Amino acid sequence: MRRTLIAGVAATAVLVAASGSAASSKTETLRIFEKTRSIQLTKADGRVLTQLPIAEPEPGDVVDAVFDIYAGDHVKHGKTRLGSDHLRCEFIAAGPPKCVSHATIGRSMLVVEGTPPRVTFGTGRFAGATSKVISAKEVKGAPPSELAHNDIDVVARIKLK
């Protein structure tokens, strides 16, 4: 499940990336840490599993995860949360899961979808933004029985209009 979530989380990270700096350039490369706050698996039969470790998703299952977003990486990140993110992945019989991520940062929001992940909507300072995830790496060391097992460091390049 962790690998499957990474693609969705990477998309989410793009959302976060745009909030990280106020450079004068219209293209910014940002480093983001997404700290998992909650994760659940809804089975195709409607059962909701929240006990860690979460089972591997199967076709028809849905994973929902909520993250706090920080500038930096898991080793060195800001103390102040930049925003929040909700990732939802629906697992299908063939191919990658269908994931969508909604991140609110300040008074703005980004929506990221697809594989590879792309910004599809934005509001406020993110209106008209496009983006590219350069890397999305799992934070290693946390066992599956801890929420931190799903934390991720992301580097993203975002283009603002």
7-26 pLDDT per residue, tens: 444 444 444 444 444 444 48
Burial 4-19 (b: 16+ CB within 10 A, else e): bbbbbbbbbbbbbbbb
What are the distances in angstroms from CA 97 to CA 26, 58, 71, 117, 123? Answer: 32, 10, 27, 12, 25
> Domains, the chain, ranges and CATH?
2-159 (2.40.480)
Tell me the pTM: 0.81
89-138 pLDDT per residue, tens: 999 999 899 999 898 888 888 888 887 777 788 888 778 888 877 787 88
Contact 139, 74 (CB under 8 A): yes
How much is the mean pLDDT over the chain?
A: 82
Give me Rg for the CA atoms of the chain: 15
CA within 13 Å, CB half, 102: 4
